Structure formats: C-alpha cells, structure tokens
Structure 1
C-alpha cells in the first residue's frame, strides 16, 4: 500500500519535532556543564541518537529526512520530486518550531530560567558562537559538515549498499561525529529547520544570524549531491 502524502508530512513533522526537542533540549535542560550535566559529548550523542531513533520509527514512512538539506539533496541526486521536497520542508520547519516551543514551555518552568540568557540551543557565529568563532569559520564549517553528512546519507541509503539496513545507525553516528567537532564553532546546524525553530522562538540575534544556517547547509547539500551523482555513483 502506498504511503499517503499526509502520512509523510506528519512523519516529517513529528521527526523534526523530536530532533529539536531532544537535541536542543539536551543542551538547555541536561546542560553543557561537564561536571553537573551531560557535557558537549552528551549533547552530540543526543542529536545523533534522535536521528537513529526517528530513522527506525518513521524511516519506512517518509525516509526520515527531518532536514531540508537532505530533501534538497535528494532532489538533486534524482531520488525525490521537487514538489514532494517542498511538502517535506514545510513539515520540517513547522515541526522544528513546535519542538522549540515545547522545549521553551518545559525550560521556562525552572526558577531562574530566562530565554534571553538560557536560549534554546540556537546556532550562531561571532557573538552567537559558543566559542566566538567568526562568520567565515561558521560558514565553512556548516558547508563542509553538511557535505560530509549528506555523503554518508547518499552512500548508506544507496541501493548498491548491501548494508542498507544499518543506514539509520550510520547516519546518526555521523551526526554525533560532526557535533563532537563542530559544537563550539556554531552549535552545529547542518539542518536549516533545526536552526529556524529555536531562532524564531528566541528572536533577536538568533533571527539575524539564521541566514547562515540556511544558506551554508543548502550549499553543502547541493555540492555533496552533485559530487555523489556525477562523480561517485556515476554509471
């Protein structure tokens, strides 16, 4: 039986909601303090494990993109129609906003929490960067990390890959690896929806800087798709 468009939309909405709630929530609620919280390594695994969990929960329904960069990349490599990608991206952005809103409702229940100070795990560069990295560093990092992330996705989901059943695990672990390296640079996006959701709720600087976390991941996705389609998996 063919999966309906509404089912795919709902799956992408839910999956992206979970990614933002659990991934960003690990930073906001569980804490980045290595002595009393999960630390940067814990946050890295939270994002990766969210992808692994959703891959096996909704992968058979929508493919578990939960990331506009992935949907765009799938269009470029010829695995997805443009109009379907548009529907996916709308669902992903709405899901990210919902996830950020839920996270805010939970976090605001703690005495002393302030949105302006605690944030919602939003991405940033320069003053918004966790370690003060520049705009150029952030743009290069997000572009290259997305390129690598999409390359793992294309390879692990290829029909030529005999280990395709482990695709969800490979993709999730690659996201963990990217976060381990990149959290201090931008907080790691590689996913425009993941950045848009928290930015819209937090506002201010997060909104003014969110353009980078749309442009760089999309660029990295397209470059990765072109390399994959015309160089690596070329017949």
Structure 2
C-alpha cells in the first residue's frame, strides 16, 4: 500500500506543478481580467514612481547646504531605500491578486522566461509599466517643477568613480536578488504547503528592494527596474540621464534571466527530483 511522505506537514506525493502558461493564449483577449491586470500594472507603477521620486528630490532639497538645507537632514539613503521597499510591499500586496503585482519589466521578463505569463501579457505589462512610470514622474514635475529640475528628477546615473562594468554588475546582481526573491516567495509548491505564504509574499519582495537599494544607491542610484529608470529619464530629459541608460535595461534583464534559470532549472529541478524520490519510496 502506498502512503504519502510528509515533508513539514505537506504530502509531497499529492503536489503537482501547474502547467506552463501558453506562449500565446487567444482566450486572454476576451477576458476583462486581462485588461484589468494591465490597468493595475499601470496605476501601481505610476504610484510607485510618484512617491519614490518625490522622496528622492525631497531628500536632495532638504540636504542642500547651498540653499539653507542641512547636510544631515532629510530622510537620507536609508529613508530612500525604505520608500522604495515600502512602496513595493504595499503595491504588491494591493495588486498581487489582480495582475500578480509585477510593477517592474525585469520581473515580468523573468516570469515570462519561466512560462508563468504569456508573451502578449508580458509585452502589455511592460508597456503599461513604462507608461505608468513616465506618468508618475510627470506628476512629480507638475507639482514640484522647480525641485524636480534642480535636483535631477530622480534619474538614475552612474556615480563618479565607478566604471560602466561596475554599474552593470550592480544592476545584474541587484535584480537577481529581487527576481530570485519573487520566485521564492511565489513558488506554487510552497503556497500549496503553507497557506500563509501568499499573504506574506509582498514582505520579502519589498525587503529585497530595500536591501538592494541600500547597497547600490551609491553606485547607480539603484535601477533594478527599467520602467523606473525610463520614466525618470524621459521626464527629466537631461543628457546625463541618457548617458548610461542602457545599463538600466541590460543589467536588470540579464539579472532577471539568471534568476529565472537558477530557480526553475536548478532549484526547482532539484525539488522535482526530490519529489520523484519520495514517490518511488512511498510503497511499503
């Protein structure tokens, strides 16, 4: 007689991975949920850029000693990192049940490589995220025009003293940390075993964004989100903002691809092999 092998209270034998998402699913286009998800990605990315860019230029204004500011004033790098991580936590929590809460073309790209979203959905998500980021930065400039122009518009750029290779590596590694965390926090096997995981998933994702910002703000200002970098560059539209802009697309996409391959074909392949061994030893 066969029996289930319990792993942490979870019957491994009973678990089956969901089938991969079709590359193109014609049925998607006839569902309101498809368009609702795209709208959710647009609004979430707009809010993300609005709050975080306001935080960045607010800090630079408050710490500008040439205009009466305090060099140690404002929220500091720690506060900026909390703003980015906190907003991701909030927005992923709000939109996860609607669109998956990507809010980042690199995350969408990684999930597409893992066959978790279709090609049309991935393309429209990235378009919505990019447009949302541009609109979010546009709102900041509309409400804080002088500060926006004087303090760089929150645009990413390679800091003095760092090479392009160092900046690219920072973006690759930072995005890898983020996308790896997304895969781990949303792993369907963990969700099936631990019912609380989907509720808590936004927390490690937001915390990953926070930690990466602490590490890489001094190097690149922290991109790890091509839409965030694009929105700020388009609205600020300064030559410096475009000089190394390619780093903030190439780096995140490479990091996302490595994270997808690592999680799906090394970690998850190992998990599937372990499940197979459990099943083969379940007959007594």
- 1:10, 1:121 → 2: CA distance? 24
The superposition leaves residues 28-57 of structure 1 with CA deviations (integer Å, 9 ceiling, x where unpaired) of 124473622000000000000111110121
2:208 to 174, 179, 196: 174
Instruction: Kindly indicate whether the alpha-carbon contact (under 8 Å) linking 1:17 and 1:97 is maintained by their aligned counterparts in 2.
Output: yes
- 1:36, 1:209 → 2: CA distance? 29
Q: Tell me: CA distance 1:114–1:84, structure 2 relative to 1, closer, same or farther (3 Å).
A: closer
1:211 aligns with 2:243: no
TM-score w.r.t. the length of structure 1 is 0.91
- 2:53, 2:162 → 1: CA distance? 20
Paired position in structure 1 for 2:268: 233
Paired position in structure 1 for 2:157: 124
Moved more, 205-214 or 81-90: 205-214
1:12 to 16, 37, 41: 41
2:81 to 44, 55, 63: 44
1:142 to 171, 183, 189: 171
1:28 aligns with 2:62: no
1:202 Cα deviation from its structure 2 partner: 1.3
Instruction: Kindly indicate whether the alpha-carbon contact (under 8 Å) linking 1:74 and 1:80 is maintained by their aligned counterparts in 2.
Output: yes
Q: Tell me: CA distance 1:195–1:216, structure 2 relative to 1, closer, same or farther (3 Å).
A: same
Structure 1 stretches lacking a partner, 5+ long: none
Paired position in structure 2 for 1:54: 91
Paired position in structure 2 for 1:106: 143
Q: What is the DSSP-based 3-state SS (H/G/I as helix, E as strand, rest coil) of the residue aligned with 1:4?
A: helix
Paired position in structure 2 for 1:80: 117
1:191 to 225, 235, 250: 225
Instruction: Kindly indicate whether the alpha-carbon contact (under 8 Å) linking 1:120 and 1:198 is maintained by their aligned counterparts in 2.
Output: yes
- 1:3, 1:150 → 2: CA distance? 28
1:106 Cα deviation from its structure 2 partner: 2.0
1:114 Cα deviation from its structure 2 partner: 6.1
- 1:166, 1:120 → 2: CA distance? 33
Moved more, 21-30 or 175-184: 21-30
TM-score w.r.t. the length of structure 2 is 0.76
Instruction: Kindly indicate whether the alpha-carbon contact (under 8 Å) linking 1:151 and 1:228 is maintained by their aligned counterparts in 2.
Output: yes
The superposition leaves residues 175-202 of structure 1 with CA deviations (integer Å, 9 ceiling, x where unpaired) of 0000011100000010100000000111
User: How many pairs were matched up?
Assistant: 226
